[in-house]
Amino acid sequence: MNAFSFFSRFAATATLAAMALFGPLQAAAAELPNDDRYVQLSQVQPADRADQVEVLEFFAYTCPYCAMFSPYVTRWAQELPEGVVLKRVPVAFNASMTDLQRMYYTLEALDRLDLHTALFDALHHGKEQLFDAQALTQWAVQQGIDEQEFSQTFNSFGVQTKTNRANELAKHYHIEGTPTLAIGGRFLTSPAMAQGYSEAIDTAQQLLDYSLQQRQQ
């Protein structure tokens, strides 16, 4: 065997070994979870910015499962890569839930989302009846927010616009229950579908990995 033949065979063998080693890893990164752990939308929903991948957390303050799932999502959000953004979307399945939708966007506008978890706790652990504007205003004042500033923000055009947008998103994503995560405008998963809170995060991560890889192709 001459030197050229030897090195040609060596190179071919090395290439096959590399394919065997790295090929399965690449395939695994592109795989989707089991079908029963997520659903795929028939129409992809656009992100607010073309250079971002959105993860939407559809939730309701009245939902005890949302309260339990929220810490999982918060921890996961801290690990999301650059270019991926988490956006919470409060859902109202009936008119009585609208004030709690507005409450989320009011806290956001006032830069007081540190009270997001506190509101969950007040509703589900403290059993406080915080379902309308008057009760929510009193609660906000107890948390140190100026009453006039809160009321003006709560009833502002900006908060109403975001509330309307939340309703549109819930409709476009066919949200029928909470909590639900939407990944990349294309996939939905939830603790109910994934059979657990940690399992929902794992499924969402798989869907996100798949979505990010598809964007690079």
Look up residue 150 and give its amino acid.
Answer: F
Q: What is the CATH number of domain 36-216?
A: 3.40.30.10
Residue 140 confidence (pLDDT): 98
Element (H, E) at 95: none
Residue 17 confidence (pLDDT): 39
Residue 192 has pLDDT above 90, yes or no: yes
Residue 7 has pLDDT above 50, yes or no: no
Structural contact between residues 100 and 62, judged by C-beta atoms closer than 8 angstroms: yes
Residue 109 has pLDDT above 90, yes or no: yes
Strands (DSSP E) contained in the chain are 39-40, 53-59, 84-90, 180-183, 187-189
Could you tell me the pLDDT band of residue 217, with boundaries at 50, 70 and 90? confident
pLDDT, tens digit, for every residue of 36-91?
Answer: 899 999 999 999 999 999 999 999 999 999 999 999 999 999 999 999 999 999 99
Taking residues 166-194, report their average pLDDT.
97
Residue 29 confidence (pLDDT): 52
Could you tell me the pLDDT band of residue 14, with boundaries at 50, 70 and 90? very low
- Non-local (6+) Cβ contacts of 66 within 8 A are 59, 60, 120, 178, 179
Across the chain, mean pLDDT equals: 88
Taking residues 102-127, report their average pLDDT.
98
Residue 12 has pLDDT above 50, yes or no: no
Handedness of CA 101, 102, 108, 114 (dihedral sign): negative
Neighbours of 102 (CB within 10 A): 23
Q: Which residue has the tokens 């991560």?
A: 205
Domain ranges of the chain: 1-30, 36-216
Residue 179 has pLDDT above 50, yes or no: yes
Could you tell me the pLDDT band of residue 19, with boundaries at 50, 70 and 90? very low
